[in-house]
A and B are shown apart, each in its own frame.
Chain A
Amino acid sequence: MANTVIGNSIVIDGEITGDEALVVQGTVKGRIALDESVFVENSATLEADVEADSVEISGVVTGNITAGSRVEIKADGKMVGDVKSPRILIADGALFKGNIDMDVER
């Protein structure tokens, strides 16, 4: 089956947890905690703290992100918040304000 999709017109105020990939096209306020990937698409607005394996941002995110493997802010992505992840990619054109922690203490 396909991913979990939060469609364009949907607003979720609360918490999304689980172990499957999540595609957000609408609005999520609160918290997202997954063991999988989160895709924040163009039309999406996240006002949430995110814990996931990987996060891909093309929409707007306000909140802190903790990722197990990687965070990618695409060219049309906008993010305000702190990011903690071993790999962080910020594309040319992306807007970002916040702290980045790649956990470099070696």
Chain B
Amino acid sequence: MAKAPTVITAGIVVSGRIEGAEDIEVFGAVKGSVHLDGDVFVDEQARVDADLEVNNLTVHGILVGNVTASDAIELASTARVIGDLTAPRVIVNGGALYRGTIDMGDIEDEIPGESKSSRGKSARGSSRSSRSAPARAARPEREEPKAAAKPEPKRPSRSRKKAPEPAPEPEPVDDVGDDDDEPELPKAAAKKKVAVKKRS
């Protein structure tokens, strides 16, 4: 694993505002906000309840909060995430649980026959409303940006980043994501405690 200068280990809770210009690896807990000119890695055992503003974000664990990344956001197969994601590249791996709105910017240019003015408003409107709707409503949402982004080269992002681990073998998306876990997320969201029991 590439040694990040800043590491928050499993027994540590940092609450408040974190700023800086380097990479952070989180194995413990972070609450509050993170404004970073660098990359953030969230381990499978880690829990982040914070709004993030970073270059790259890789989530293997639990994240509740809104994320703005200047480069890419990747949700690994073990990720459980609630919040809005804004980044030019958003990668959701099979098995990841997610609810929220994804915004990859002005992708209308990439879609033939889609005018920015007409599309922009309706898309925004529908995605906002789906945010408060149950997870089922959010489901098509997560498919859409994925498909729309296809022309962009997604693969290189993986290698360009110093990915700390080889990508976990993605489990079949539909098996994992749908029946078992789906009811869990909204419930957990209501409590603001996402599946803490799973941590042990």
Contact = CB atoms under 8 A, between A and B. Distances in A.
The judgment on whether A and B are partners is: yes
Where chain A touches its partner, the secondary structure class is strand
A15 B15 contact: yes
Interface string B1-36: 000111111111111111111101001100010000
Contacts of A20: 9-12, 28
Interface of B: 4-22, 24, 27-28, 32
B10 A10 contact: no
Interface residue tally of chain A, by bracket? 20 to 34
Where chain B touches its partner, the secondary structure class is strand
Contact of B11 (A10, A14, A18): A18
A99 interface: no
A2 B13 contact: no
Interface in A15-66: 15-20, 22, 25-26, 30, 34
Interface centre among A11, A12, A14, A26 (most CB of B within 10 A): A12
B8 to A, nearest CB: 5
Contacts of A104: none
A15 B11 CA distance: 14
Nearest to B31: A14
